[in-house]
A and B are shown apart, each in its own frame.
Chain A
Amino acid sequence: MAVFRLGQTWDPLRDLEHEVDRLLQGVNLTFHGVRTGRQYPAVNLHESANEYILTSELPATAPEDLELTISSGVLTMSGQRRDEGEIPEDRFRRQERPRGPWQRSLPVPDRIQEDQLSADFHNGVLVVRLPKAPQEEPRQIPISSD
């Protein structure tokens, strides 16, 4: 996928586009973030009656490499896409999978019980459950009169 998208490409620009692509590939930036303009990893957020559920597809990240923290309403997830063994670059016939460290911070909905957060990570899919804080009871304010 090209980095620059111009309405009318003419050859010198296309060469530049290819050159920039090639350079970016060489630097091995996580192409999900830089090259497609989307942050890695992609997340979905769902709401059920008593919790919010955040899901994310994180293949090739081992559970021991995954870190989740929550602080002041911001959930930060970080990890590393890693495979077994070092494969020299010249051994690859095809390389489509991103690799390397990643991090993403997300604001979580209000009124979450941050200390009750739980996470489950199976088959490369992360499911984070954010229980809603119980509705506060309406509080009667006593009125005194003389």
Chain B
Amino acid sequence: MSPDQPEPSQDLVKAHRIDDSKSTASERYVFTPPIDIFETADGLVLRADLPGVSLESLELQIQENRLTLFGRVETLLPDDAVPLHREFEIGDFLRSFILSDEVDYERITARLSHGVLEVELPRAAQAEPRRIQVNAE
């Protein structure tokens, strides 16, 4: 399996940027979150750091063989707050991955806890040999 494609596709970034321009005037940052991918007995597990993303603001979707995660981060600060010291920027998280045929797309599950998304990508069962019925005329 070769699930990873490190850079988000440009199209997706653009699509989200266009969406943003409709809703808010200010430009938003889009970050590529750090991830881990490891193998288990059942398949692969992907973990991504998504601090500030809630269940409601997380989109996880599969299109064709591409798994895309997009997490929107809302600022938790009151409107009148003035920055005094800044070491990180607030932005949304976007990353996509190419899944191989070995993954059983139907059984993918995900959960979010403590700002970490965990996606389980179970290995597809070995394709059973299929008997093809031959009909005689």
Contact = CB atoms under 8 A, between A and B. Distances in A.
A49 B82 CA distance: 9
Contacts, number: 107
Contacts of A55: 76-77
A124 B116 contact: yes
A119 interface: no
Nearest to B50: A59
A58 B115 contact: yes
A5 interface: no
B80 A48 contact: yes
A120 to B, nearest CB: 8
Given A48-B78, A57-B88, A123-B51, A94 B116 contact: no
A45 B36 contact: no
A43 B100 CA distance: 38
B88 A96 contact: no
Interface stretch (A16-24, A70-78, A85-93, A133-141): A85-93
Interface in B26-70: 34-40, 44, 47, 49-54
Contact of B84 (A46, A49, A122): A46
Interface string A90-116: 011111111000000000010000000
Nearest to B71: A123
B54 A123 contact: yes
A138 B56 CA distance: 50
A96 B115 contact: no
12 contacts: A45-B84, A45-B86, A47-B82, A47-B84, A55-B76, A94-B4, A95-B38, A96-B36, A97-B49, A98-B34, A124-B50, A124-B51
Interface residues of A, number: 35
Contacts of A61: 114
Contacts of A123: 50-54, 112, 114-115
B114 A60 contact: yes
A127 interface: yes
B38 to A, nearest CB: 4
B134 interface: no
Contacts of A49: 80
Interface in B62-102: 76-78, 80-88
Cβ-closest 4 pairs across A and B: A124-B115, A59-B115, A124-B51, A57-B51
